[in-house]
């Protein structure tokens, strides 16, 4: 089976990004919760400008807007290197590497579809013990998820069909919704214990990757 995965949140723990933004906010006596929420909100918006912005430049622009919103006088953007380092050092959730090793042992092919950049992905693949068989990034697709051309390029690149493929992701809007639009089979990794919508059914739902291994083993 060909298994495509979202990377950020699904495989890699994104908490260190929130932590560095919160720390920078506290250092300036700013509200750390507002800073984190503002950062995440602008990241989502900035991805969908008319022209694709490379991810490292998008992060810099995001920090600039954070300075604007919190009247922080270039504080956040002057600490761009701190944030970029946090991205470079992201590590997998504890369930990910054991699950990946078992999935590979079952004979599955593992592919990543990520709103990331090559300079980050090199570190991410090393953190994942180079277990993935392939990667698709915005510099190749010309867009960020959830834009459908990203998913359509994955379909073409890896020759995905409903008989040979399942998409596995935490991001609901970024992954589960467009996967539904393309009639992909899908598994929602609901790490945050949210409530999904009926319109995206059917999908399997788990809080981590461990049950995915068991589910796919039963289908072999």
Residue 210: its pLDDT value, please?
98
Residue 51: its pLDDT value, please?
83
Residue 185: its pLDDT value, please?
98
Higher pLDDT, 220 or 175: 175
Residue 48: its pLDDT value, please?
86
3-state secondary structure 71-91: CCCCCCHHHHHHHHHHHHCCC
pTM of the model: 0.95
For residues 15-36, average pLDDT = 98
For residues 181-206, average pLDDT = 97
Sheet holding 2-6, edge to edge: 134-136, 109-113, 2-6, 165-169, 186-189, 204-206
Residue 164: its pLDDT value, please?
97
Q: pLDDT of 121-139, one tens digit each?
A: 999 999 999 999 999 999 9
Contact between 66 and 30 (Cβ < 8 Å):
no
For residues 107-112, average pLDDT = 98
For residues 208-212, average pLDDT = 98
Cα separation, 185 vs 1, in Å, equals 12
DSSP characters for 30-79? --HHHHHHHHHHHHHHHTTSSSPPPHHHHHHHHHHHHHHHHT-TTTTGGG
């Amino acid at each position: 089976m060909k298994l495509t995965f979202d990377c950020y949140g699904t495989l890699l723990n994104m908490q260190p990004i929130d932590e560095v933004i919160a720390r920078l906010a506290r250092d300036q006596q700013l509200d750390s919760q507002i800073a984190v929420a503002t950062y995440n909100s602008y990241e989502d918006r900035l991805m969908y400008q008319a022209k694709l912005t490379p991810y490292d430049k998008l992060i810099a622009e995001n920090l600039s807007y954070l300075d604007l919103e919190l009247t922080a006088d270039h504080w956040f953007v002057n600490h761009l290197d701190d944030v970029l380092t946090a991205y470079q050092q992201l590590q997998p959730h504890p369930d990910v590497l054991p699950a990946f090793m078992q999935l590979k042992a079952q004979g599955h092919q593992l592919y990543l579809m990520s709103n990331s950049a090559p300079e980050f992905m090199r570190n991410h693949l090393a953190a994942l013990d180079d277990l993935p068989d392939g990667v698709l990034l915005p510099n190749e697709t010309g867009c960020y998820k959830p834009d459908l051309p990203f998913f359509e390029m994955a379909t073409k690149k890896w020759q995905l069909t409903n008989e040979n493929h399942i998409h596995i992701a935490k991001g609901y809007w970024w992954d589960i919704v467009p996967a539904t639009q393309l009639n992909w089979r899908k598994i929602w990794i609901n790490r945050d214990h949210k409530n999904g919508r009926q319109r995206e059914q059917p999908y399997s739902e788990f809080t981590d990757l461990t049950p995915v291994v068991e589910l796919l083993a039963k289908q072999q």
